[in-house]
Amino acid sequence: MEFFRWFILPVVLVFGCVQCRPVGPPPGRQQGPYGSAQTAVREINSSRGFTMAAYAKQINLKQDMVRAGTYGRRVVRPMQPRFITIHSTQNYTADASRHSLALKRGALRSAKTKYGNRIGFLIWHFTVDDHVALQHMPCSEQGEHADFHGPGNRLSIGIEMCENRGNNRAATIDRTAKLTAILMKRYGIPIQNVVPHYHWPRRGKHPPNKDCPHFLMDNHRPGAKWRGFQSRVNYYYKRLE
């Protein structure tokens, strides 16, 4: 009996430690898309980092490219990305796969303004929903997603967040933050150059600054929600090895 007591106790202790070992996400990461910056900093200091490949796996990042020479990629316009522009689709029926299909079929035309557009088709780099992140074109090519001839198109990687019914918005925002962190690291883009579509005025449009991504704006412009998103991006960025 005496032996049993001394045998059982260490077994329980060891088993208990295995159970509580922080193999999953730390508690702060499960609070929803916006942990406080302080919580984030504590977690960065106490947790091991992640590689870009690990993040890519977590968000199920895949390529589903529009064929070079077709539709949005009819004209290849080289780009060295200096910004990352965040959008939301405002399409309540299509997930990432359906957007990808539409881009591959040339179904999304860019709006005509008197300032024109260069290729006539919308195209951007990534679409994210709550289960996949799809890449549509190389980050070394300009898209058509922000401001016609402006710097938003000429210098930025465009990411669209899905908002189809049934799609988990918090998960989509969180996965977009991870993708953004990967791209910052890969292309040396600082956090202040992670901007909402709102950042790029569209010449000839009223209002010039689009309320996009609308669910991260406060009163139709960047405020606390946008800053919360930025700190989430920064949190993931700082954990990258």
What is the contact surface with Zn ion in residues (CB under 5 A)?
Answer: 87, 197, 212
For Zn ion, the closer of residues 126 and 235 by Cβ is 126
Report how far residue 18's alpha carbon sits from residue 31's, in angstroms, rounded to the nearest whole number.
23
The minimum distance between CB 89 and Zn ion, in angstroms, equals: 8
Q: How far is CA 143 from CA 44, 66, 110, 151, 163, in A?
A: 34, 12, 11, 11, 21
- Count of other CB atoms within 10 angstroms of residue 7: 10
Decide: 27 and 43 in contact? Cβ < 8 Å: no
Residue type, 105: R
For Zn ion, the closer of residues 40 and 100 by Cβ is 100
For Zn ion, the closer of residues 26 and 120 by Cβ is 120
Report how far residue 137's alpha carbon sits from residue 176's, in angstroms, rounded to the nearest whole number.
17
The minimum distance between CB 136 and Zn ion, in angstroms, equals: 15
* Alpha carbon 105 to chain centroid, angstroms: 24
B/e letters for 103-135, b = 16+ CB within 10 Å, e = fewer, are: bbebebebeeeeeebebebbbbbbbbbbbbbbb
Burial of 95 (0-12, 13-18, 19+ CB in 10 A): buried
The minimum distance between CB 224 and Zn ion, in angstroms, equals: 20
Q: Which token pair is 105?
A: 């079929």
For Zn ion, the closer of residues 29 and 87 by Cβ is 87
The minimum distance between CB 41 and Zn ion, in angstroms, equals: 31
For Zn ion, the closer of residues 110 and 234 by Cβ is 110
Report how far residue 114's alpha carbon sits from residue 203's, in angstroms, rounded to the nearest whole number.
9
For Zn ion, the closer of residues 57 and 149 by Cβ is 149
Decide: 157 and 83 in contact? Cβ < 8 Å: yes
The minimum distance between CB 127 and Zn ion, in angstroms, equals: 12
The minimum distance between CB 182 and Zn ion, in angstroms, equals: 20
For Zn ion, the closer of residues 122 and 139 by Cβ is 122
The minimum distance between CB 91 and Zn ion, in angstroms, equals: 11
